[in-house]
Amino acid sequence: MTKPQASANKINRRHLLAAGAAGAAGVLGAFPGISFAADPAWPDKLVKIVVAFPPGGPTDTAARIVAQKLSERLGQTMIVENRPGASGSIGTAAFIKSPADGYNLSMFGMPALLAPLLFNNNAYDVRKDFLPVATVYDLPMAIVINPRVLPDVTNLQQLIAHAKAAKTPLNYTSSGTGSFGHLSMEQLKDLGGFDMQHIPYRGSAPAVTDLIGGQIPVMFADVVAALPHIQAGKLRAIAGSSNKAKLLLPGIKSVAEQGFAGFDADTWGGLVAPLGTPRPIIDRLNAELKVILADPELQKKLIGAGAVASYQDAQTMGKRLASDYERWSKIAKDKKISAL
């Protein structure tokens, strides 16, 4: 080989190496926060799913149902660890610092979306501080009333008319200050031009108890919390937060169907991973969730827990997080709603 040929080959190799490096940088740039190096044996040990809420709630129940199915499909044990507190912000803030190795995941629930805003801290930002994997469930809500206190109210328009005619503002409750029941009703009040006074409780259970007792006549509630009492005739559902509420409350019209086109106030949850989790693991989890959430048996289990199976891919989930944050944070700021 002549010297010019050898020099040319060295130059070509340098160009190829440079091109390869540039291509890799371009690919990595397309997925910020994600590593592309993954252990091909994953998962080869126990996987943990953090739930930033107490045991027994819809996020916890959904996480346990999904963890069981993922364990079966991946051939590895998956456990759920509860880290409740401050509307999910304590557990979520701790989770985002977990190793990004595919063995630390979290079932994110919507109450944690605005928790840093409501508690006036910067614990995390749902738009950038973790990686969406896929949505798992929607949690329909409903406007429910005590039929003994408001016997003539059977639909949303009648409730609004009653609220407008009241000499003092009608009281309503939710699971807490800054909850999605609270924010949803505040938005609806503005859209409908009526007033009601929010009386917050610490959780759905005590709020539903006083609703049944007649101390509070109206609640924007998680369907799962109110459903047994609706079925027993102690409470009356007059509007669903979306059409998905009909899967749990057949025959109940949505808010949108009762004069407020486009209104949708379901909460929802999905699986997330720490920043830096290898992309192949995110893709594998996403693919597995797509399959198991299409399983009628799993869908039935979620319905039994008051949730509706709802698969959306990682990109769609990320857009949904950003859109919901913008929508609900504006309401919270405009209404000066704070948990402090």
CA–CA gap between residue 124 and residue 113 (Å, rounded): 9
DSSP state of 253: P
Whole-number pLDDT of residue 305: 85
The string of DSSP codes covering 301-321 is HHHHTT-EEEEE-HHHHHHHH
- Class in CATH terms, 47-140+266-334: alpha beta
DSSP readout, 75-122? TS-EEEEE---GGGHHHHHHHTTS-SSSSEEEEEEGGGTSHHHHTT--
> Start-end ranges of CATH 3.40.190.10 in the chain?
141-258
pLDDT value at residue 3: 44
Q: Tell me, what's the pLDDT at 291?
A: 98
pLDDT in tens, the chain (340 residues): 444 444 444 444 434 333 443 443 333 344 445 544 555 689 999 999 999 998 988 899 999 999 999 999 999 999 999 999 988 999 999 999 999 999 999 999 999 998 998 998 889 999 999 999 999 999 999 999 999 999 999 999 999 999 999 999 999 999 889 999 999 999 999 999 999 999 999 888 899 999 999 999 999 998 888 999 999 999 999 999 999 999 999 999 999 999 999 999 999 999 999 999 999 999 999 999 999 999 999 999 999 888 999 999 999 999 999 999 999 999 999 999 988 7
Q: How many Cα neighbours within 13 Å face the side chain of 227?
A: 19
Q: Which helix or strand (DSSP H or E) is residue 231 part of?
A: helix 223-231
* SS3 (DSSP) at 191: helix
Alpha carbon distances (Å) from 316 to 242, 254, 262, 312, 320: 19, 24, 19, 6, 6
| Angular region, 205: left φ>0, alpha ψ -120 to 50, beta rest | alpha
Residue with tokens 């009356």: 236
* Buried/exposed code over 230-250 (b: 16+ C-beta within 10 A; e: otherwise): beeebbbbbbbbbebbebbbe
CATH (one of 1.10.3720.10, 3.40.50.2030, 3.40.190.10, 3.50.30.30) for 141-258: 3.40.190.10
Q: Residue 282 corresponds to which tokens in the numbers above?
A: 């995110």
Alpha-carbon distance of 208 to 240, in angstroms, equals 17
